[in-house]
Chains A and B, each alone.
Chain A
């Protein structure tokens, strides 16, 4: 508990202070005198956070990140990031006498010799898989509820960068053990680098310090994996959290909730306890997973050798869409002037960032179309912004279709399908399905809006059947409570942007730019007739409820 507001303010000179009542207060005084924590604590310890499970998705990301850092530090104590060749003579007999790199040998060592090493390794890897998955879901929560709107656009970008860095750090970690799967992943990356026109070969030579695989790549990846990317991520993470504190948390609309308040409970003690407890729950669940299920069984893959490869060589799930892009892309090549332009790899390489940038840029695009400069702290219900919800669903569809492309071989074997058919499906589906899903989702949202309107105007169905004197049966509807009416109708319904009249007040033709026209068209799509169902007005509600008795 923070000290009560009646104690002496920190600005007062120490000599005038009363003698501390107990040791705790003495310690607090000591720290306050040196760190100035009183004002910081006063401002933040009682900070209010709203309560909803979807606001805890970010917490899952934070905690898994902490778990990854902790276990990662343990792993660095035993891992040797070296491609020096050794003959294995450790305790895993099926690899006895096999030549391998020190990196791989030390990973086997961690798995079989180091106390708790295998469990820690599995916690590290499972936590990474869940970390990226949680970031993905967290981002989608923010997207569908419109939590990225002003003032949170920059924080959205920070979150997006964390996601991308998570992708790449995960990929590097996957590459480090130098097992057969790792090496195949690095080979894939090398191929992608080589496909870059003009500079590809130079970048490849720079990156690998010579021909593939060379001896430099593992030590280099190690430094990037444990130092560079985590350092940047930590910085972004802190900035992300500071901004969450600074902006205050968003909340769902409802009675008593406005754009100017936050309804919830204080950080201290409620969320300290809940968040602290949740950390241990997350750690416990990840540890349990790691104790039960194997992840990246490096001993089974064997050491990497450029002449060997195994089927089912996929990246971890978050890079799966990149794998899908490559797998379904036709192998186009252009040969001219003694050079080969490998479009079959280069186009996917360019589409990979594009898929990601599509979602990252969305808040700015929406902000431009709507032109809303106000701050928003009340979340949108996804159904109330059908176009955004549809676009989000379309993006997820694209991502999932590409993931299917990345796992086409396993889908072929497990569903008894032809690999080629899946490839054709993905080629067509990645264009067609997002569009179809957009329309379906949008219609679905409009349907839900109509249902809300119906509920507000006609009340809810009670399940009570009444027989009228003349024999007709009707179901009795009951009015919603006031709070529910408020929740269903408190959202704003912006009107589409109107183009200025073609001539100004003097009758002179006005020039309207193409950009403005496009913006008005898009705005019409968002909020025009097809974009939303007008919510019930007070008059409509009164007219219906004021009395003729029929439902």
Chain B
């Protein structure tokens, strides 16, 4: 130790220290740097993120900001996750046409790969719900529809109506009809809670229950035959009353007019 101490003012001491420091840094880098394989994956991911960023800059950034930080016209997208992008763009809601009480569903203009790239970019901004795979939103249980129906009536029917026909909210907002909505999008909506809808994360509604709800909605709003005939929109007694007045009483009055107009002729006496 004494020897080392004595030579600390040697002209080459600084060089030796520098060499040691470089060796430690380099060694530490070699030990902790990501493995070769991971590096390859990362580059594919980063390619998608880059592509997504470019699409985002064209289609989304005017409201959400170039880095998804948000502006007065659109919320920040940090932490919304890829599922939110897949839902919003996949159902045509985003990019929005114009501001309003609620952004309506419209024709989707992006391909699925474009959507995936934008989703990758937005997911890279911060962790959030991940786009589900088909195993995640497809239930294999046989009683999924009846269980899902019960869950739907508890959690969803107060806005979306008993048959998923949709309903009104305040100030021009509404819960949209669930007819024709794909299983993936129903699942994503529950994950992310778009617009006025509350989110149903794993902690409040486990994946299995979401699957059951998806099964019920797909059945009720899309496949279910209506044993009673025309559903009249499945909108409850209002449309029934309208139908009763027009096609019930209306037709009956028309028939009454017809009956009264055709009567026996008085015999000439």
Contacts and interface: CB of A to CB of B under 8 A. Distances in A.
Contacts of B257: 53
B244 A133 contact: yes
B80 interface: no
A285 B165 contact: no
Interface string A74-109: 000000000000000000011111100000000000
Contact of A311 (B158, B219, B228): B158
A294 interface: yes
A181 B157 CA distance: 11
Nearest to A277: B259
Interface stretch (A410-418, A437-445, A446-454): A410-418
B249 A130 contact: yes
Interface-central residue, B236, B237, B252, by most chain A CB under 10 Å: B237
B161 A311 contact: yes
A130 B232 CA distance: 16
B177 to A, nearest CB: 9
A301 interface: yes
B253 A57 contact: yes
Contact of B168 (A52, A286, A309, A408): A408
B227 A292 contact: no
Given A310-B157, A412-B174, A413-B166, A285 B251 contact: yes
Given A133-B244, A297-B228, A311 B160 contact: yes
Interface in A313-330: 313-318, 320
Given A60-B256, A301-B162, A286 B248 contact: yes
B1 to A, nearest CB: 78
A180 B244 contact: no
Given A281-B255, A315-B237, A317-B241, A419 B229 contact: no
A126 B256 contact: no
A122 B232 CA distance: 14
Range class of the A interface residue count:
35 or more
B231 interface: yes
A98 B245 contact: no
A135 to B, nearest CB: 10
A336 interface: no
B256 A419 contact: no
Contact of B165 (A55, A312, A314): A312
Interface string A273-301: 01001100110011001111111110111
Nearest to B242: A317
Nearest to A307: B154
Interface in B181-225: 216, 219-220, 224
Nearest to A406: B238
B11 interface: no
Nearest to A315: B237
Contact of B229 (A137, A294, A302): A294
A312 B257 CA distance: 35
Contacts of B261: 53
A198 interface: no
Contact of B245 (A96, A133, A278, A410): A133
A406 B241 CA distance: 12
B149 A314 contact: no
B74 interface: no
Contacts of B166: 413
Question: Which one of B174, B228, B235, B247 has the highest number of Cβ atoms from chain A below 10 Å of its Cβ?
Answer: B228
A294 B259 CA distance: 28
**Interface residues on chain B, size class:** 35 or more
A133 B163 contact: no
Nearest to A274: B259
Contact of A312 (B174, B226, B228, B235): B235
B245 A57 contact: no
Contacts of A137: 249, 253
B92 interface: no
A428 interface: no
Contact of A300 (B234, B243, B252): B234
A274 B216 CA distance: 51
A270 interface: yes
A293 B243 contact: yes
B264 interface: yes
Contacts of A274: 259, 263
Contacts of A57: 253, 256
B171 interface: yes
A274 B251 CA distance: 17
Tell me what chain A mostly uses at the interface: helix, strand, loop, or mixed: helix
A265 B264 contact: yes
A96 B230 contact: no
Given A94-B220, A292-B229, A314-B237, A130 B248 contact: yes
Nearest to B215: A94
Given A53-B256, A180-B162, A310-B157, A419 B172 contact: yes
A418 to B, nearest CB: 4
Contacts of B216: 94
B146 A95 contact: yes
A311 B167 contact: yes
A130 B230 contact: no
Given A278-B256, A308-B157, A315-B237, A409 B162 contact: no
A270 B169 CA distance: 56
A122 B243 CA distance: 13
Contact of A293 (B170, B174, B230): B230
A312 B252 contact: no
Given A51-B263, A57-B253, A96-B146, A295 B162 contact: no
A94 B230 contact: no
Given A270-B263, A294-B232, A419-B170, A289 B247 contact: yes
A281 B259 contact: yes
B22 interface: no
B168 A413 contact: yes
B179 interface: no
Contacts of A133: 244-245, 248-249
A112 interface: yes
A145 interface: no
Interface string A158-184: 000000000000000010000011000
B229 A98 contact: no
A497 interface: no
A265 B227 CA distance: 45
Nearest to B230: A293
Nearest to A422: B168
A207 interface: no
Contacts of B255: 278, 281-282, 285
A294 B228 contact: yes
B69 interface: no
B252 A418 contact: no
Nearest to A316: B237
Contacts of A96: 143, 146
Contacts of A309: 157-158
B114 interface: no
8 contacts: A122-B228, A122-B229, A293-B228, A302-B153, A311-B157, A317-B238, A317-B240, A409-B168
Interface of B: 101, 143, 145-147, 149-150, 153-154, 157-163, 165-172, 174-175, 216, 219-220, 224, 226-232, 234-245, 247-249, 251-253, 255-257, 259-261, 263-264
Closest 10 CB pairs of A and B: A317-B241, A294-B228, A311-B167, A129-B244, A409-B168, A312-B236, A310-B162, A53-B260, A130-B248, A418-B172
